[in-house]
Structure 1
Amino acid sequence: MSDQPLSRPAEMNWVIDNVRPLTPEGWLTPTSVWIKAGLIHAIGHGTGDSQTRRVDGQGRYLLPGIIDLHGDAFERDITPRAGTQFPLELALAANDASLVANGITTFFYSITDGFEPGPRSRETVRRLLDALDRLMPRFSCQARVHIRHEKVNTEGHAELLGWIASGRVHLLSLNDHLPPLGNAKKVERYLAGLRRRVSMAETEATAFLEELQASRALGEIQTTDLAASARRYGVALASHDDETPEDVAAARELGVAIAEFPMCAKTARASQANGAAVLMGAPNLVRGGSHVGAIGVREAIEQGLVDVLCSDYHYPSLFRAAFTIAELGLLPLADAWKLVSENPARAAGLGTSKGRIAPGYDADLLLLSDLDGSPLSLDATVVGGTAVYSRATVAGWSGSQASAAGTRTGEIAQPA
């Protein structure tokens, strides 16, 4: 077995033979998938032409790449410990490698436009946007920007509106993580998170929260402006942590298309009734419950209340989640996979180009040796028709052009 690494097919015209693709019609028996110019060109035996390079999939499974609308684990690469920060290029490069190794082919960098100093400050947002502008062409995973705007961050309102208008923002969620001072449980939970991100004395942190309460009224006015701008420029809009029917009604008035992490079944159901896709975290499902006391994702799926899953703070959980759903008997794997591919694509306005294995769609693909739910069974990740990741057991993707007769010039070695 060769240990030759997976190469990037420069010709962007190749066929994976003998694979079992998951298509909108379900699983296909071993067939061929033709990838050309970054797109899925055709599916079926006999595809390809005289210029096509051929690869033998040896009966492996081919799934649509994972689309992650809400992930902030990259913050840990930037600030692995409170009070420390590493160069953004170093942190984002490490994050990009982790994404494709966990099957994520389109990732929305969930950047907190918050009211805290440090990693969740507006200054950090600026630095991240500039770094992403520089690095996106070099990333393996397709990157997009999800701004998690805290309503009480009222400084720089015009700047944020400008980012939306210029196309630098692809998803905007409206957050309110400032705890009301009368709710001791929420205050302590917030302060516990703050301590992990920022070095701040207890008395200083309490005074900090007190001062911010005065920004609520202006923040609500600015929220209306931001929502109108998002609608005008075609930016997907999300609400966050809706707790009451009143929260859901307010989100509907703003034109919200995605309801992130509704706190109970009632708000999730109301959001769906209003036409919003309900997004919940895969770690909640994989761990077996919410770490903040919200509705359990397993329970929500049982009630048909989940449309989209995201990584939230743990990328491997998003890969694992669909298999967990199938193992629990909640949905067939083919339907569960839609929660991480087709449904997030549709919710974010990408439904005509991503999330499916079908002609005309982006060739964002995962090649799996087994359907056991282990990232170790992910043998290769393909983004935009280019192979960007492979495990050591995958080899033979490089080679000369195939002959007109379809001579095999590469093969994928079976795991030892």
Structure 2
Amino acid sequence: MKKFAIEGANILTPTGWLKNGTAVIKNGKFISIDKANSPKIPTIAAKGLLMLPGIVDIHGDAFERAIAPRPGVRFLLKMAIEENDRNLIAAGITTFFYSITDSYEPGLRSRDTAREIINFVLDKGKQSLKADSRIHIRHEQANTDNYSELCDWLKQGKIQLLSLNDHLPPAGDEYKLNRHLNSLRRRHKMTDVELQNLIQTALGNREKGLQQLEELVTLAHQHDIPLASHDDDTEAKVELSAKRRVSIAEFPATIELAAKSRDYGASVLMGAPNLIRGGSHVGWMSVEAAAKAGVIDCLCSDYHYPSLFHAPFKLSELGIMPLERAWKLVSAYPAKAAGIENSKGSNAAGCDADFLLIQPNNPYPSAIVSVYVAGKEVARYQ
């Protein structure tokens, strides 16, 4: 790729805004970012626009709705993932971790579907997907089948983030059992008897799954794959995450637990829809409260991509933090949590030239004028 420049934009750099700046790009990376100087190379005029680092989304599973929008309804995977990719780019997400649930369930969240998505994203998808696409496996403890395959994926570098999940309800907890059953009903056309049998079988695999989980933790560390905990809702769970050297705490239940997670060195990750909707859909702490308490590091799309673009503007509107700091929650900080901060998440020399040009004074994705990934314009909207 030839050298070119973006000139005249107000550029958000790691140290703050550079007004009327020039970003020089070569071979898909930023070479320099400085005051506008009309370089003698091909130049794209961007005066009056804001230049933001592309969004790094390390936990998003809205692609499931493109694959299976209704229980028992499934579309061709290639079509679904390519549709999803367009939605990512339209929301300003330039690096995306496909957060694939590796569950004991059949169908959408099965190992077979996980394998199909991984094979497409990491192979043929490279020819058609615009976002830098990576794999985040959300492994359910009760899924003990084909354990060696999961180990092989870790060893082969197919997985860039592994989270440790156990969504099975505790024994005797009717509330969590009913919530889990309702979640399963949204994905499956199964009778109540079939669902109960599925859960009982999974409960019988829990202890074996725990042993496998500890082996996966060791394997992930051996191959420098970041680990995430999920839904830590007790001090004991946070202590276990600390023992496992988990680096990302996904959706801790309370401000106190989030603070304890940060104390042992984990980055606290929460969902942008929580902020946009005004609270957690399961009744846990809100992003607004967590941000005010200073116990949040990263935001993710969770289940709604456009929320991730709007969230930093919302934090700024609420007076919790300025936009230049809030934007790091969707770019620099998740990149650091995932161990890719040397290439992603910042408008800085040496980083991949993944960035957005947007109209000012519009806090929604409709503000996006164009999206660049690795120095290539992959979408233009205005």
Q: TM-score range by the shorter chain?
A: over 0.9
Partner of residue 226 from structure 1, selected from 187, 208, 216 = 216
Query: Is the 1:65–1:365 contact (alpha carbons within 8 Å) kept by the matching residues of 2?
Result: yes
Q: Which runs of 5 or more structure 1 residues have no equivalent in the other structure?
A: 1-10, 394-416
Residue 198 of structure 2 aligns to a residue whose secondary structure is helix
Residue 249 of structure 2 aligns to a residue whose secondary structure is strand
Per the alignment, residue 110 of structure 1 pairs with: 99
Cα pair distance change 1:142/1:47, threshold 3 Å: farther
Query: Is the 1:69–1:108 contact (alpha carbons within 8 Å) kept by the matching residues of 2?
Result: yes
Query: Is the 2:261–2:267 contact (alpha carbons within 8 Å) kept by the matching residues of 1?
Result: yes
Q: Which range moved further: 38-47 or 96-105?
A: 38-47
Per the alignment, residue 125 of structure 2 pairs with: 135
Per the alignment, residue 204 of structure 2 pairs with: 214
Query: Is the 2:7–2:38 contact (alpha carbons within 8 Å) kept by the matching residues of 1?
Result: no
Partner of residue 329 from structure 2, selected from 317, 320, 339 = 339
Offset at residue 47 of structure 1 (A) = 5.6
Q: Partners in 1 of 2:164 and 2:39 — Cα distance?
A: 49
Q: Partners in 2 of 1:298 and 1:342 — Cα distance?
A: 20
Q: Which deviations, in whole Å up to 9, do the C-alpha atoms of 1:298-350 show, x marking residues without a partner?
A: 11111011100000000000000000000000101111001000000100001
Q: Which structure is higher in RCO with an 8 Å CA cutoff and minimum separation 6?
A: 1
Partner of residue 55 from structure 2, selected from 55, 60, 66 = 66
Per the alignment, residue 325 of structure 1 pairs with: 315
Q: Partners in 2 of 1:211 and 1:97 — Cα distance?
A: 38
Offset at residue 197 of structure 1 (A) = 0.8
Mapping of residues 8-407 of structure 1, within 5 Å: 11-45=1-35, 50=40, 52-132=41-121, 133-391=123-381, 393=382
Q: Which range moved further: 184-193 or 62-71?
A: 184-193
Offset at residue 137 of structure 1 (A) = 3.4
Q: Partners in 2 of 1:31 and 1:292 — Cα distance?
A: 44
Offset at residue 181 of structure 1 (A) = 4.0
- Equivalent position amino acid for 2:65 in 1: R
Offset at residue 373 of structure 1 (A) = 1.0
Q: Partners in 1 of 2:279 and 2:166 — Cα distance?
A: 22
Query: Is the 2:82–2:128 contact (alpha carbons within 8 Å) kept by the matching residues of 1?
Result: no
Query: Is the 1:171–1:237 contact (alpha carbons within 8 Å) kept by the matching residues of 2?
Result: yes
Normalised to the residue count of structure 2, the TM-score between the two structures is 0.98
Offset at residue 254 of structure 1 (A) = 1.1
- Equivalent position amino acid for 2:317 in 1: E
- Equivalent position amino acid for 2:110 in 1: S
- Equivalent position amino acid for 1:369 in 2: Q
Query: Is the 1:245–1:266 contact (alpha carbons within 8 Å) kept by the matching residues of 2?
Result: no
Q: Partners in 1 of 2:343 and 2:336 — Cα distance?
A: 9
Q: Partners in 1 of 2:376 and 2:332 — Cα distance?
A: 20
Offset at residue 253 of structure 1 (A) = 1.3
Offset at residue 58 of structure 1 (A) = 2.0
Q: Partners in 1 of 2:268 and 2:88 — Cα distance?
A: 23
- Runs of 4+ in structure 1 displaced over 3 angstroms? 45-50
Q: Partners in 2 of 1:48 and 1:152 — Cα distance?
A: 59
Instruction: Count how many residue pairs are aligned between Structure 1 and Structure 2.
Output: 381
